[in-house]
């Protein structure tokens, strides 16, 4: 089949690869100048299936309200938050709904981790990655808060270890001794990886087997039918200047997105099928066709900086850590340190909240003071496309020839490879290797 994919973030790139492997003629349309230029650009990089959970959870509304007046709040609300989305999210916080959605997401997350590792081994993709994930618990209260989650990990058969402070520091010797540390939870099978670098390398593998990536191309409209069409507007490719090494990119043309206005040259192209992987960009494409997905931008932040001494394995983080109290991740990305977190519901992609950035710098300074060259830091804010109940939507849209791979929220990297495989199998009419109940569009129509 001739298949179009809209969007070249980590979801679009993995989908392109899986469909190209099937022998389809794949064309990927991306409005930026390279892959993973928006939501996938500088995320935390965590692949920790046991901690992939819905935000809609029992007690979460009360926690958010208590955070409203905190200077280091992990969650922030803005007045332009979609009220309808908020009401659906609130209803999904009921214990029975949360539990069902958590199991759905974790089934997909464990499958996705396996698929990521299979692809990496098979293609010998060499990207920046480290194994191990350490949850830092500053006090007894933090430990008590994670106990229910540990019971779930046990039920899932996930390997983890309870550690005291000295054991945590044996695993991560760079941790500061000046910050109180009560205990930790260590997951040796989880990992951290450079999502964007993986996307750049996988794009090249997809191109090697026939996929075409068309950058600087905006899809203005979808036309559904026996042969679904895309109305596209192209702009000339512009090679951007700048250092790609700061984010671990493997070629300079993908270092910075081209944001110049597009030239008005609309054209219609038809395909046998279209897969929408355009994150928040899916809403204006699907709405005119009568499909209104409740996608909400939940913005996250990261700060990435070179390590002062990258040749010393005991300097800075060895792998990935999470400060449970502030919900901030600290990751080693090659020779750089990345601190990522915050959840901003509503707001603007162009305005950086000073409180969110202050929290990231606080957590970095608490655990690894002086290790980063902050004068060379890059700050990023990305919009994570989240559905109110948590899981993504994978599979048919209900419109002829149009398929969906959307709504992964803050877990896109952790769910990408599995989601792409599920969609490719569905398009081929094959049974999925995992139970996909609750991952389709039907659950949002109940």
Tens of pLDDT, residue by residue, the chain (446 residues): 999 999 999 999 999 999 999 999 999 999 999 999 999 999 999 999 999 999 888 888 887 777 666 778 778 877 678 889 989 999 999 999 999 999 999 999 999 999 999 999 999 999 999 999 999 999 999 999 899 889 888 988 899 999 999 999 999 999 999 999 999 999 999 999 999 999 999 999 999 999 999 999 999 999 988 899 999 998 865 544 333 333 333 333 334 444 444 456 789 999 999 999 999 999 999 999 999 999 999 999 999 999 998 777 678 999 999 999 999 999 999 999 999 998 888 888 888 989 999 999 999 999 999 999 999 999 999 999 999 999 999 999 999 999 999 999 999 999 999 999 999 999 999 999 999 999 999 998 76
d(C-alpha 7, C-alpha 9), whole Å: 6
Number of alpha helices (DSSP H) and beta strands (DSSP E) in the chain: 10, 19
Task: Give the CATH number, domain containing residue 130.
Answer: 3.50.50.60
CA 406 to chain centre: 11
- Give the pLDDT of residue 71: 75
Cα distances (Å, whole numbers) of residue 289 to 65, 164, 222, 404, 408: 37, 55, 8, 14, 22
- Give the pLDDT of residue 268: 92
* Residue in the structure block whose two tokens are 């990522």: 340
For 244, the token pair is 């790609």
Cβ burial of 342 (10 Å; 0-12, 13-18, 19+) is buried
- Give the pLDDT of residue 231: 95
CA 60 to chain centre: 21
Beta-carbon contacts of 118 under 8 Å, excluding residues fewer than 6 positions away, are none
Based on C-alpha coordinates, what's the Rg of the chain?
Answer: 21
HSE, side-chain direction, 13 A CA sphere, residue 150: 14
Contact 344, 154 (CB under 8 A): no
Least Cα distance to 184 among 197, 169, 196, 203 occurs for: 169
Least Cα distance to 434 among 446, 445, 443, 421 occurs for: 421
Contact 257, 32 (CB under 8 A): yes
Owning domain of residue 292: 2-445
* Residue in the structure block whose two tokens are 């109305």: 231
Contact 368, 316 (CB under 8 A): yes
CB atoms within 10 A of CB 167: 14
d(C-alpha 291, C-alpha 296), whole Å: 15
Beta-carbon contacts of 12 under 8 Å, excluding residues fewer than 6 positions away, are 5, 6, 28, 30, 35, 275, 277, 278, 405
Domain count, the chain: 1
């Amino acid at each position: 089949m001739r298949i179009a994919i809209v969007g070249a973030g980590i979801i679009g790139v993995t989908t392109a690869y899986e469909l190209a492997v099937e022998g389809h003629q794949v064309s990927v349309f991306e409005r930026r100048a390279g892959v993973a230029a928006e939501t996938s650009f500088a995320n935390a990089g965590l692949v920790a299936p046991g901690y992939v959970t819905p935000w809609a959870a029992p007690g979460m509304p009360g926690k958010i309200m208590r955070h409203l007046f905190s200077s280091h709040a992990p969650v922030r609300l803005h007045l332009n938050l979609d009220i309808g989305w908020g009401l659906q999210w609130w209803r999904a916080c009921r214990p029975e709904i949360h539990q069902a959605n958590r199991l759905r997401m974790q089934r997909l997350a464990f499958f996705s981790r396996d698929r990521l590792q299979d692809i990496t081994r098979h293609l010998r993709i060499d990207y920046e990655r480290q194994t191990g994930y350490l949850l830092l618990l500053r006090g007894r209260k933090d430990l008590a808060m994670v106990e229910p989650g540990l019971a779930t990990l046990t039920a899932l058969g996930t390997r983890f270890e309870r550690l005291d402070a000295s054991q945590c520091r044996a695993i991560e010797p760079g941790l500061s001794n000046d910050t109180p540390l009560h205990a930790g939870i260590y997951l040796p099978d989880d990992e951290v990886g450079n999502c964007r670098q993986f996307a750049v390398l996988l794009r090249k593998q997809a191109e090697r087997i026939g996929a075409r990536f068309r950058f600087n191309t905006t899809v203005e409209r979808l036309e559904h039918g026996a042969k679904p069409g895309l109305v596209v507007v192209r702009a000339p490719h512009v090679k951007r200047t700048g250092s790609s090494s700061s984010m671990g990119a493997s070629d300079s043309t993908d270092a910075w997105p081209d944001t110049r206005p597009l030239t008005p040259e609309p054209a219609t192209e038809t395909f046998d099928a279209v897969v929408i992987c355009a994150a928040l960009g899916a809403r204006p494409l699907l709405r005119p066709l009568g499909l209104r997905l409740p996608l909400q931008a939940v913005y996250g932040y990261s700060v990435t900086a070179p390590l002062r001494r990258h040749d010393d394995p005991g300097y800075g983080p060895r792998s990935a850590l999470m400060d449970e109290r502030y919900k901030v991740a600290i990751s080693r990305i090659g020779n750089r340190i990345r601190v990522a977190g915050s959840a901003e519901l509503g707001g603007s992609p162009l305005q950086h909240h000073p409180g969110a950035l202050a929290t990231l710098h606080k957590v970095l300074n608490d655990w690894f003071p002086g290790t980063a060259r902050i004068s060379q830091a890059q700050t990023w804010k990305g919009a994570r496309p989240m559905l109110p109940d948590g899981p993504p939507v994978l599979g048919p849209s209900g419109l002829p020839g149009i398929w969906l791979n959307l709504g992964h929220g803050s877990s896109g990297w952790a769910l990408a490879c599995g989601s792409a495989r599920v969609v490719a199998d569905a398009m081929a009419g094959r049974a999925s290797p995992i139970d996909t109940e609750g991952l389709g569009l039907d659950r949002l129509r109940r």
